[in-house]
Structure 1
Amino acid sequence: MSKSAVPDMGPAIGGPGSVGSMGQRLIRHADWLMGMAVLGLMVTLITPVPPVVLDILLTFNIAFSVMMLLVTLNVRHTSELSTFPTILLFSTLFRLGLNVASTRLILSGGEAGAIITAFGQFVVGSNLAVGLVVFLILIIIQFVVITKGAGRISEVSARFVLDAMPGKQMAIDADLNAGLIDADEAKTRRARIATEAEFYGAMDGASKFVRGDAIAGLIITSLNLVGGIAIGMMGSMTLGEAGQRYSLLTVGDGLVSQVPALLVSTAAAVLTTRASGRQSLGQNLIAQVGGRPKATLISSGVLVLLGLLPGMPPLPFWLLAGVLFLGWRSTRSIDGAEDLIGDANDEPAPKPRAGQAVANDEAATNARDIEADAEEVRTLLTVDRLALEIGYRLIPLVQDKSGSGILDHVAQLRKSVAAKHGIVLPAVRIKDNVRLEPSGYRVLVGGVEVARGTIEPEHWLAMDGGGAVGPIVGKETTDPTFGLPAWWVDSAGRDEAEIMGYTVIDSTSVLVTHLSETIKRNFDELLTRDDVKELVENVKLDAPAVVDELIPDRLGYGEVQNVLRNLLREEVPIRNMPLILEALSDAATRTKDVEQLTELVRQRLARTLCELYAGDKGVVYAVTLEPHLESRIAASVDPKSASDSKPVDPAYLQRLVERIEETLSTANQGGREVVLLVRSNVRRLIGELVRASLPKVAVVSYNEMIPARSIETVDIVRMDEVRVGES
């Protein structure tokens, strides 16, 4: 479309003098306007109001009540009007203020403005009793029928909503852990549940305002009538004149107050009785009631029969029967209200011609089948970053009746990993797999199995931690996490195993522990480039300078990801991301090698490493290599540094790993956590050699130990050169 073809839409929304700008200004000063309005309510209670001003306020009260009723008819969910209980309070106070102002005018001057007089003359006319009866009927309808029913519904709804909150919260956690929703969607759903509970709780109390308003209206009307007649008789009026004048004003005042009150109480009842849906109340009513063609046709026939009864006027019955028959003709092709309601689209689809109906139905069916097939293919192509597949006997362990289970443990595991290691785990997709054995499970990372095991539901795993005093009766097995001998015992044998000194763990904890250790061994594979970008963006909020200096001028997200993966592979926490990025920025000016960058970052994280490996007394217990052994390994890493050194073959390295394993096994007998302390130039090679057979052993360099930390050498790894031999 050319520029000249674009119609002139007037001032831009939000521009000077536009309606949007006025709305923005109102929103910006809403707090001031609200405060002034509430103070104005208080003023009407204590200061006289002129009749003209009272007429304006009464008109506003009627318009506001009509608007609130129409608004409640068009909301789709109660959370869209969560402020209604507060609105109900303010509208009640406003009406009471108007009652006080009108009472002051009636009793002081015998007049209350044009609106009240007009209402009284229209309803009362020449018969005072009719006006009083109409007023009492309105009071009874509001107080006995609408207000009482709405209050009861609010009370029951509040109770049910509060009772259902724990289940809804657990369902959200289950969807989040299963990967069906993300954290933002879970947060939105929790906020919606909290808002719904607060709304029904507030409506339960707000319904008392409406009931009190009806009682206050009845009392005020009685006082106006009795007080007005008494004041008139004390003046120059007779009893009949005073009764006629003040009765007219009193009934008019009561009607002007109670009609808006009836509208607002009806709006409250509509809001508490309606069910949430995608469409407004009017659309749902027409769709659900008018969408039953058979009921419409039968009702039309019943009305025809009633019109044939002797003495019955046939015209109204047959007229309405004809309307229902036409309604049946227009909806007879629809089977049930569900077809009429439709999906999320509010606008109805254009009605097809008769010749196109079958073709359109077939096309729509084919389109739905194609879309379903495409969605299924997309689902098959999606690879879960982290998944747990279970056999059918383990399905009850996902979430038991108390709300705990695998889902609850996984949620706690994600929080623990984030707090300790600084990495946000992806959602763990839990699904059943009929190809697994009934009590089996397996852990998948990136769609590939990395661990599997078998547990016994409703049993406990008893392991000998070194303090058991005798054998127990149970099914012999192996702990799936650490490969230690263990026994599955039932409820009867659990207490016996604990008494005999065995460590007893429930089956769910066994599975979750295996999952946790598997995740730790695969931290580096779980960290994606998007995760790294999110971590960097979080750092940028507090330390933007280091991020701007590093990325993208010195390093890219891929290089940062590789460094973080190296750290996580050795279970080094990456929580202190600002320090890591600062170290990378400094080191990137000297080298781009990822392995060297990792070593330099580790040295910058010296305090973190010492804190991680220190014992209860703050001492780091270490096993070291004898000097000539370290020199020989260093020469194999950098031959130029020692040209006269002897070569190192695979057999020598294998024997070295065996000696390190023997020495560490002896050093760990006291229950201490011992690290392998080596030179910085051999740390990476020794770490790679040791990690294959001793994944739990930490290999650190002297440059990663801070002087303030006490280091105690437990043992030294030595090699018998003659026995080993040379090649």
Structure 2
Amino acid sequence: MSEAQSKGYLNTKQKLEASPFLDKLTKRADVVLAVAAVGVILLMIIPIPAVMIDFLIAMNITTALVVLMVSLYMDRALDFSVFPALLLLLTLFRLGLNVATTRMILGEAYAGKIIESFGSFVVSGNFVVGIVIFLILVLINFMVITKGSGRIAEVAARFTLDAMPGKQMAVDADMNNGIIEESEANQRREDIRREADFYGAMDGAAKFVRGDAVAGIIITIINILGGLAIGFFQRDMEIGQALQTYSLLTIGDGLVSQIPALIISLSAGLIVSRAASEMEMGREFAGQMLMHPRAGFIAAGVAIFFALVPGMPTFPFLILGSFLGWVSWKTNQSRKEKIAQEKTELVEATKGATEQDKIEDYLFVDPMELEIGYSLIPLVDKEQEGDLLNRITQIRKQQAMQMGLVIPPIRIRDNIQLKPNDYVIKIRGNEIARGEMRMGHYLALNPGTATEKVDGIPTKEPTYGLPALWINRKTKDRAENVGYTVVEPTAVLATHLVEVIKNNAHKLLTRKDVNTLIENLKADNPTVVEELIPNLMTVGAVHKVLQRLLKETIPIRDLGMILETLSDYAPMTKDTDVLVEYIRYALSPTITEKFVDEDGKLYALTLDPSIEQTLSDSAQQSSRQGQFGIVDLPPQQINAIYASLSKLVDEMIASGRQPIVVTSPTIRQAFRRLTEPVLPQLIVLSYGELLVNVQVESVGTVALQAAKEPALA
């Protein structure tokens, strides 16, 4: 189940499948919708009886109430993505009803019991009162709700479109780092697209509501004037009698039309003005308004003060003030009790752990650990909606698929010796990386497309060391709109974990893991395993080969191909370096696919021919002495190579490319050993490891002097 589904964010099809009755009920909904649309058109043309008008008016009011309730109970705007189209149909339905009731009012001086009841009971038979109430409803709808929700929809549509690139990049980053699966990434991309379409449609749909309000005023004026003319000239009524009869019917018609219109406008305002939430709006309102008991105490005190003011009604203010004070007191007490309970549980857990600790427990070293400061504990606390544990599970699955390595469980513990916002990643008890995070903030990265600066706390992105900002929730939307890539804290830590795992996978692979992988392969391909082990190589020797591959981020998922290659060449040599080079040639499709760009080209650095020749001569001399992949150059030459290479690598990283250098096959191993101490992140490939159809695009040449051709593609 994806993260969105676990939070209840299901699409319409999934919700229908979850309720067989609802699924069955909506099987022919498309036919019903088509008939309803045609019926609305016919409503404007064909006269209908008063009984049918009463039924349609009741349907109009009930439908508006259903829409209002759905808008109150939904979690996010996309849960009601059909609302813009529904708004158009309901607006057309109300206008059709207005035409039908106008025809009956002017033709028969009667329009059904509902309109008559609204005209007599609701406004007490006084058409002046009715006109005032009608105008108030129209003004509330037209000037307040509709105008405000229309502006919100307009701004939301613009900001949503502006934020789409940043959101898409964040989804791609999460998927590439193994935080989410491809299916969930596709669902998130679809939600982003639908969200933009929805707010764009809502921007236009708001005009329907405003037009409906204007049409209601015009229709009411026409009905009154037309009724006076028909009553006086055709029905021989007195002016007063005609005004009383037709005005009451018209006002009743206007009220039964404007009340559903007001409800629909309110629903539109609620939909466009709320953000995504994990609870219904009612609970969210209550929770946020009662979140601060001190504010409730102050408001209760003011209400009780008004109750004591001479001339003020004592009873209402006293009841409201007392109730508000009691709710605030209970909220405050409940919060204190929960804090005390958590402290007690923490003390008991610490005491129990101390009693159960054994000296032998301290001798065990965890393969991988994550230590966090106490401020970061909510990341792993499910009761506080922390999802780091779920993300780590996804990371382990993703790395198993990509690298062919089963990542051991990652032990997470809090460390009071760390700063509250710091975390440390350890492998076999040794610190490998550390970083800082701020809860309640987001990490904003400028990919070079930001149009303006935003306020935040300057920092370094922990994985790649890029300049970044910690921004608060209020600044998040603005940062996305101006072009920043905004990442939540959990994703920042998960990305750092992924990179640490990739760069240190060879340290995590144990001999026991290798034996398990071999046994699993033996069940499907026993021939290759029995041919190699133990006749030609031991498990330990295979372990060293796999470690060397992982150290250069080469996947070992195709273990069958690796063992077959070892079986072919192990009889000729037992040198691990030589065997690794043979395996890399065999894995050329995997290596090519891993490092080529989306356009099918490999963007990489190349070596100046003079450097190639110098390294080749030195490597061959070492090979004759029985040392494969070793170069012996003067320090001045090595430093010149480092200086030229470092500059080009920095330029590649700044342009968003992975630093890669391509060499001739004879010096690949030697150049890798030469650069590894200074540039461990540099990928060194040889032309022999690449498929013949791959085009290598040189973005710079490493020379003993200044780098040549530094421009990056």
Which residue pairs with 2:269 in the alignment? 269
Query: How has the CA–CA distance of structure 1 residues 355 and 241 changed in structure 2, closer, same or farther, with 3 Å as cutoff?
Result: same
**Is contact 2:299-2:321 (8 Å) kept?**
yes
Q: 1:267 to 1:433 in 2, by over 3 A?
A: closer
Offset of residue 104 of structure 1: 0.6
The 5 Å alignment of 1:69-468 reads: 69-235=68-234, 236-334=236-334, 382=396, 384-385=399-400, 400-402=447-449, 431=496, 448=547, 449-451=550-552, 463-464=607-608
Aligned-partner Cα distance in 2 for 1:68–1:276 = 18
Higher mean displacement: 78-87 or 25-34: 25-34
- Pick closer, same or farther for the CA change 1:290–1:128 going to 2, 3 Å: same
1:114-152 CA distance string (max 9 Å, x none): 110110002332422111010000000000000000000
Tell me if the contact between 1:150 and 1:272 (Cα under 8 Å) persists in the aligned partners.
yes
Q: Give the Cα–Cα distance (whole angstroms) in 1 for the partners of residues 177 and 663 of structure 2.
A: 16
Against the structure 1 CA distance between its residues 222 and 356, is the aligned structure 2 distance closer, same or farther, given a 3 Å change threshold? same
Write the letter of the residue equivalent to 1:241.
Q
Deviation at 1:215, TM superposition (A): 0.3
Partners of 1:61 and 1:260 within 8 A in 2 = yes
Deviations 1:657-711 (Å, cap 9, x if unpaired)? xxxxxxxxxxxxxxxxxxxxxxxxxxxxxxxxxxxxxxxxxxxxxxxxxxxxxxx
* Partner of residue 47, structure 2: 48
2:92 is paired with a residue of what secondary structure?
helix
The reply on whether 1:487 has 2:675 as its aligned counterpart is no
Fraction of identical pairs, as percent: 38
| 83-92 or 368-377, larger mean C-alpha shift | 368-377
Answer whether contact 1:477 1:488 (CA < 8 A) is retained: no
Q: Structure 1 pair 445/96, CA: closer, same or farther in 2 (3 Å)?
A: farther
TM-score (norm 1): 0.52
* Residues 516, 326 of structure 1: alpha-carbon distance in 2 compared, 3 angstrom cutoff: farther
Q: Structure 1's 119 and 181: CA in aligned 2 closer, same or farther, altered over 3 A?
A: same
Task: Please give the secondary structure, in 2, of the residue aligned with 1:332.
Answer: helix
Distance in 1 separating the partners of 2:693 and 2:299: 83
Cα deviation, 1:14-67, whole Å, max 9, x if unaligned, reads: xxxxx9776444322121111111111111111111111000000011111111
> 1:486-635 counterparts in 2 under 5 A?
487-488=644-645, 511-513=658-660
- 8 Å contact 1:462–1:489 — kept in the other structure? no
Of residues 508-517 and 142-151 in structure 1, the stretch that sits farther from structure 2 once superposed is 508-517
Normalized against structure 2, the TM-score is what?
0.53
Counterparts of residues 622-701 of structure 1 (less than 5 Å):
none
Q: 1:430 to 1:512 in 2, by over 3 A?
A: farther
Shift of the 377–125 alpha-carbon distance from structure 1 to 2, 3 Å rule, reads: closer
- Read off the aligned partner of 1:99 and give its amino acid letter: N
Give 3-state SS (helix, strand or coil) of 1:326's partner: helix
Cα deviation for residue 71 of structure 1 reads 1.0
Equivalent-residue separation in structure 1 for 2:294 and 2:46 (angstroms): 62
Residue 659 of structure 1 aligns with which residue? none
Closer, same or farther in 2 for the Cα pair 1:323/1:185, shift >3 Å? same
Letter in 1 for 2:132: V
Shift, 1:79, TM fit: 1.1
2:104 alignment partner AA: L
Following superposition, the deviation at residue 159 of structure 1 comes to 1.1
Instruction: Give, in whole Å, the separation in 1 of the partners of 2:58 and 2:322.
Output: 40
CA–CA distance in 2 between the matches of 1:467 and 1:238?
A: 111
Shift of 1:489: 8.4
- What is aligned with 2:473? none
- 1:188 deviates by 1.1
| In structure 2, distance between residues paired with 1:380 and 1:285 | 34
Q: How many pairs are equivalent?
A: 445
Give the AA of the match of 2:204: G
Displacement of 1:371: 7.6
Q: Contact 2:181 / 2:394 at 8 angstroms: preserved in 1?
A: no
Residue 265 of structure 1: how far off its partner (Å) = 0.5
Q: Residues 490, 364 of structure 1: CA spacing in aligned structure 2 closer, same or farther, 3 A cutoff?
A: closer
1:466-499 CA-to-partner distances (Å, cap 9, x unmatched) read 999xxxxxx97699xxxx99934869xx9xxxxx
Q: Confirm or deny: 8 A CA contact 1:306 1:317 kept in the other structure.
A: yes
Structure with higher RCO (Cα < 8 A, 6+ apart)? 2
| Structure 2 unmatched ranges of 5 or more | 1-17, 354-376, 383-387, 406-424, 426-431, 436-442, 451-460, 465-493, 510-546, 555-603, 613-635, 669-686, 696-713
Between the aligned partners of 1:186 and 1:355, the Cα distance in structure 2 is 41
Please give the secondary structure, in 2, of the residue aligned with 1:487.
Answer: helix
Contact 1:463 1:485 in 2 (8 A): no
Label 1:60 to 1:130 Cα distance change in 2 as closer, same or farther (>3 A): same
1:608: which partner in 2? Answer: none
What SS does the corresponding residue of 1:130 show, helix, strand or coil? helix
- Judge which range, 231-240 or 218-227, deviates more: 231-240
- The 3 A distance-change label for structure 1 pair 102 and 444 is farther
Using the TM superposition, give the Cα deviation of residue 334 of structure 1 relative to its aligned residue in structure 2, in angstroms: 4.9
Give the Cα–Cα distance (whole angstroms) in 2 for the partners of residues 377 and 172 of structure 1.
14
Distance between the aligned counterparts of 2:280 and 2:662, measured in 1?
47
Aligned Cα RMSD in Å?
5.2
Q: 1:120 to 1:156 in 2, by over 3 A?
A: same
CA distance in 2, matches of 1:182, 1:465: 44
One-letter amino acid of the structure 2 residue matched with residue 243 of structure 1: L
Structure 2 residue identity aligned to 1:92: T
Give the C-alpha shift of residue 178 in structure 1.
1.1
1:279 is paired with a residue whose SS is: coil
Instruction: Give 3-state SS (helix, strand or coil) of 1:28's partner.
Output: coil
Cα distance in 1 for residues equivalent to 2:60 and 2:323: 37
2:333 partner letter? S
Change beyond 3 A, Cα 1:515–1:364: farther
- How far residue 379 of structure 1 moved from its aligned partner, in angstroms, is 7.1
Structure 1 or 2, whichever has the larger Rg, is 1
- 1:22-37 pair list within 5 angstroms: 23-37=22-36
382 and 237 in structure 1: CA distance in 2 versus 1, 3 angstrom threshold: closer
The residue identity in structure 2 corresponding to 1:400 is P
SS at match of 2:151: helix
AA aligned to 1:287 is G
Structure 1 residues 178 and 399 mapped into 2: Cα distance closer, same or farther (>3 Å)? farther
The structure-2 alpha-carbon separation of the partners of 1:517 and 1:165, relative to structure 1 and needing over 3 Å to count, comes to farther
CA 1:363–1:377: 2 relative to 1, 3 Å: farther
Structure 1 distance, partners of 2:30, 2:348, is 54
Q: Give 1:223 shift.
A: 0.4
Tell me which residue corresponds to 1:619.
Answer: none
- 1 CA distance for matches of 2:508 and 2:446? 25
Residues 52, 507 of structure 1: CA spacing in aligned structure 2 closer, same or farther, 3 A cutoff?
Answer: closer
Is the alpha carbon distance of 1:477 and 1:166 closer, same or farther for their aligned partners in structure 2, counting shifts above 3 Å?
A: farther
Per-residue CA deviations over 1:499-538 (Å, capped at 9, x if unaligned) read xxxxx977657734359999xx9xxxxxxxxxxxxxxxxx
Match for residue 684 of structure 2? none
